[in-house]
Structure 1
Amino acid sequence: MAETRLPAALQGLRIPMIAAPLFIISVPDLVIAQCKAGIVGSFPALNAREAEGEPPLLDAWLTQISEELDRHNQAHPDRPAAPFAVNQIVHRSNARLDRDLEICVRHKVPIWITSLGARVEVNEAAHSCGGVVLHDIINNTFARKAMSKGADGLVAVAAGAGGHAGQQSPFALIREIREWFDGPLALSGAIATGEALLAARAMGADFGYVGSPFIATDEANAVQGYKEMIVDSGAEDIVYSSLFTGVWGNYLRGPVEAAGMDPDNLPVADASSMNFSSGSSKPKAWKSIWGAGQGIGAVKSVGSAGAIVDRMAEEYAAAGARLAQDFQG
């Protein structure tokens, strides 16, 4: 993909895909594998949690990722790795934010993904080191607010996305945003196949934003039972609830039932309960409640992150070729 209207960091990907930052699950091994496979790999800054008194683990992770991708690029100049992204939770309860911003600026992180609040000072920090900021949103109002605060692009989180997710149809959400915004735009929501990726591009998004398939990978920091449940589940096994973090999101039905709750009759929690002071908005009582999106029916086995990118690249090309035939002549 070569879209010259996009920032340089987002050009030249093998396929137009950004790996979503997965809480706990996205670690350097997974990010490195995603980037080597030709797509943007990412992780939440809050995943890098050191013990008290130890040096910041985020610093070590960024060094590891940068050095390994540099070695790959020197060894394979014909197929360089894609750049990586760091997700910053900008919610006011994230006490680590200022420290993590300073570390990311020092490492010149190329792509920043911001969540749960649009803040001018965060965008300015990213821009100070040449970074590109993509802010995730669930509706057109939040999209306009993010751009007014200085973001460079958007991640439209539509119905069916894993973890915190909106309820709007991707067709409606992308169309409304594209009426006024022509910058970088990624779509999140059940994109787990090359066909879905092509559909995202057809409706006006520049990238598909893919998360749940990467849970079921060798490089993911997830317990085996979680990976196997992704493989064994489908869209009907996803529950939409605000109970676990205070923000509406999608979760696997199995762990909710295992916790003794009725997935179809869960209490509603208020957004005021969200707190990232301990690194996660999810209370320890819900640590075994696993997030996932509605696209998991496409995941048939546990394998490497590179294999997922390979599969989706083949499907994307094949789907494009089939549709191209419809427009010939």
Structure 2
Amino acid sequence: MAWRTGITDLLGVRYPIMQAGMGVVAGGRLAAAVSDAGGVGCIGASRMSPAELDEEIALVQAATSAPFGVDFLFPDLGERSAGPGEGTSHAVDPALRAELLEIVYRRRVPLIVYAMKLPAGAADEAHEHGIRVMTLVGTARHAARAQQLGADAVIATGTEAGGHTGAVALSVLVPAVVREVDIPVVAAGGIATGAGVAAALALGADGVWVGTRFLATHEAAVHDDVRKEAVARTEDQTVISRALSGKTCRLATNDFTAHWATREIKPFPEQAVEINRQGLVLKGLRDGDVVGSPIPLGQSTALVDRVDGAAAVLADLVGGAERALCGLTERVAP
């Protein structure tokens, strides 16, 4: 079956299946495997130094000539700057953000994804370097703003999604966004099977953004205990919390989320700075502390039943979507 959507046309890829740029989880190894298999891999750059980002991009470009992206967790550039002793985080350091973007421009990365907010002028700057731009949105009005600011596509993120997410279910959000904008729409949240891909296309999406399913792959840069959590958890074992950053974020339920459920949480980015200072994200995802640290995980964890290679996951999503679409045709045929 030949795939043709707004995303395959925009990026020149075989399949409109995008691997979410999960910070810490998604390095060059994962992004390269997904892109080389025909999807769109993304490097999650939220905690990388400039040297680390340059190295991960070089790894992808050495492994494949296929398009890929870099995902940044940039807030509004005017929100604040880093203070003394707050550590290295491009979420609060405009100078560091500029240095990271310069690496992406120099390396001619095909796609930049702004995971939190598309700053004014960012799309125009990227376009000057021949780079496409996408941004995550949680409402139709946010999608309209992104289009006005020059985004080439938007990623409509349903509340089912792991990590930073909003309050609107994907089944409502995607049609609402599709109705609002004229650019391609990618569906995110709760998609871990081929049937989920087919459902997103039926809702009007031009592609999908998949995180939790790709977390449970051999190429994901996480501890094995995190992969085991993704496989073992059920749909009701995640919670939306502001404990990670001060913004709403879906996390695996554990002692970390329980602790912060009864304590005052600072506004963004002060909460993010505090968690960053304690090193809890790396302690959880890299060191395997799945009890006392934040573990971003979507509700689609209920649909993840094994750990595979990234290429096998992509093939399963493609094949499952094609079977689902053919099955629907048979069910509605006259």
**TM range, normalised to the smaller chain?**
0.7 to 0.9
Counterpart of 1:293 (choices 270, 294, 298) is: 298
Number of residues of Structure 1 aligned to a counterpart in Structure 2: 306
Measure how far apart 1:6 and its partner are.
5.0
* CA spacing shift, 1:167–1:99, aligned 2, 3 Å: same
User: For 2:106 and 2:275, how far apart are their aligned partners in 1?
Assistant: 27
Which structure 2 residues correspond to residues 203-242 of structure 1 after superposition, within 5 A?
203-242=203-242
Q: Match for residue 265 of structure 2? A: 269
Q: Deviations over 1:289-322 (max 9, x none)?
A: 1010000111111221112112212211111110
User: For 1:205 and 1:8, how far apart are their aligned partners in 2?
Assistant: 14
2:54 matches 1:67: no
> CA contact under 8 A between 1:26 and 1:47: conserved in structure 2?
no
Measure how far apart 1:60 and its partner are.
2.2
More deviation, 280-289/95-104: 280-289
Corresponding letter in the other structure for 1:306: A
> CA contact under 8 A between 2:243 and 2:257: conserved in structure 1?
no
Q: Match for residue 86 of structure 1? A: 70
User: For 1:216 and 1:114, how far apart are their aligned partners in 2?
Assistant: 23
* CA spacing shift, 1:275–1:261, aligned 2, 3 Å: closer
Gaps of 5+ in 1: 51-55, 71-80
User: For 1:241 and 1:222, how far apart are their aligned partners in 2?
Assistant: 21
Measure how far apart 1:201 and its partner are.
0.4
Measure how far apart 1:281 and its partner are.
7.0
SS in 2 for 1:236: coil
> CA contact under 8 A between 1:26 and 1:44: conserved in structure 2?
yes
Identity among equivalent positions (%) equals 24
Q: Match for residue 278 of structure 2? A: 284
Measure how far apart 1:100 and its partner are.
1.2
Corresponding letter in the other structure for 1:23: G
> CA contact under 8 A between 2:147 and 2:181: conserved in structure 1?
no
User: For 1:112 and 1:241, how far apart are their aligned partners in 2?
Assistant: 27
Q: Deviations over 1:232-291 (max 9, x none)?
A: 1111111111122101011111xx22x48368x444635333577x7x975526422101
Corresponding letter in the other structure for 1:63: A
Q: Match for residue 191 of structure 1? A: 191
2:317 matches 1:312: yes
Measure how far apart 1:24 and its partner are.
0.5
2:298 matches 1:302: no
SS in 1 for 2:307: coil
User: For 1:62 and 1:167, how far apart are their aligned partners in 2?
Assistant: 33
User: For 2:276 and 2:20, how far apart are their aligned partners in 1?
Assistant: 18
Measure how far apart 1:154 and its partner are.
0.3
SS in 1 for 2:161: coil
Q: CA RMSD in A?
A: 2.3
> CA contact under 8 A between 1:162 and 1:294: conserved in structure 2?
yes
Corresponding letter in the other structure for 1:58: L
User: For 1:267 and 1:318, how far apart are their aligned partners in 2?
Assistant: 47
2:14 matches 1:13: yes
User: For 2:204 and 2:189, how far apart are their aligned partners in 1?
Assistant: 14
* CA spacing shift, 1:90–1:246, aligned 2, 3 Å: same
The alignment's TM-score, normalised by the length of structure 1, stands at 0.86
SS in 2 for 1:61: helix
Q: Match for residue 39 of structure 1? A: 39
Q: Match for residue 74 of structure 1? A: none
Q: Deviations over 1:20-76 (max 9, x none)?
A: 0011011111111111221100012234336xxxxx222222222112103xxxxxx
Corresponding letter in the other structure for 2:194: G
Q: Deviations over 1:75-108 (max 9, x none)?
A: xxxxxx4x10111233232432111111111111
* CA spacing shift, 1:174–1:281, aligned 2, 3 Å: farther
> CA contact under 8 A between 1:6 and 1:183: conserved in structure 2?
no
* CA spacing shift, 1:260–1:188, aligned 2, 3 Å: closer
Counterpart of 1:325 (choices 327, 330, 334) is: 330
